[in-house]
Structure 1
């Protein structure tokens, strides 16, 4: 008698919509430093503007002497990337003391 009572509990409950609409992908943790794809003809990297809350202008200016320039937020079609709204780097892509910089490929 107890065999008949749990028949539905033993059935697999898969949603057809879920199986057909979602591609099989491996989960990966989100990153604070996700960046947009580099523009054609450019390479890019994150440059630290502050370390442990203390400004580090020497690091930024060293990278600029190497040819790195801040990437303007208006060069990205998607508005999903963090933008610096004030200060010296206003209008550039950046987050948490990091500034996205780019330079032409050699």
Structure 2
């Protein structure tokens, strides 16, 4: 059973202004990818560090966590790690930054 829900990057992009406060945005790409452009307000924890750093997200445990990567694969890995640590409300940005058309900083 999937421990997260897929949300389409294109739809999130279109609705960003209205929904940005509904989620904690977590970018799980490499430091280089993040530096080259990320969604405003996103928290950066590379997917290969999630097992070591998931505690940084404990203050947001009861909120909706939206995981972001380039295509939507590494974010699934990160979602599964967080699910194993009891995070109940996880979302994967399907299509990732490849399909994101919203703001970037």
Q: Which has the larger radius of gyration?
A: 1
* TM value normalised by structure 2: 0.27
Ranked by relative contact order (alpha carbons within 8 Å, sequence separation 6 or more), the top structure is: 2
> Which is richer in helix?
2
